[in-house]
Amino acid sequence: MQYLLMIYSEEAAEMKATPEQITQTMVAYRAYTEALRKAGALVASDRLKPTSTATTVHVANGKTEVLNGPYAETREQLGGYYQIEAKDLDEALSWAARCPGATGGKIEVRPIWSMT
């Protein structure tokens, strides 16, 4: 079964990180990604650009509304994701706990409902 691991963190705190902290974080993510790859669990992953680049679309009563920025005003923002293959939820949760983003933020784990 496939799961989406959504990485939420405080974008403002990330913007204040020192170059050394950024390097440490990137090294940790590269190692995590490689572990997923070696285990045959990695399906896809990417980092998202800051929320200031987001655009939200909403259609109501046939009228399209386009808003600059993210829809939800929250303390933590979606910053990236991993789509993984896992035998069950327990295995997906185990991978989520190993994600570097789990230390300073939160990882939402959600099964993917295949439409094909």
Residue in the structure block whose two tokens are 């691991």: 5
pTM value is 0.89
Q: What is the 3-state secondary structure (H, E, C) of 13-74?
A: HHHCCCHHHHHHHHHHHHHHHHHHHHCCCEEEEEECCCHHHCEEEEEECCEEEEEECCCCCC
3-41, pLDDT tens digit by residue? 999 999 998 888 899 999 999 999 999 999 999 999 999
57-89, pLDDT tens digit by residue? 889 999 999 988 766 667 789 999 999 999 999
Among residues 96, 91, 92, the alpha carbon closest in space to that of 32 is found at: 96
Q: For each of the domains in the chain, give its residue range(s) and CATH number, in order of start.
A: 2-111 (3.30.70.1060)
Residue in the structure block whose two tokens are 């991978």: 95
Residue 82 three-state SS: strand
36-64, pLDDT tens digit by residue? 999 999 999 999 998 889 888 889 999 99
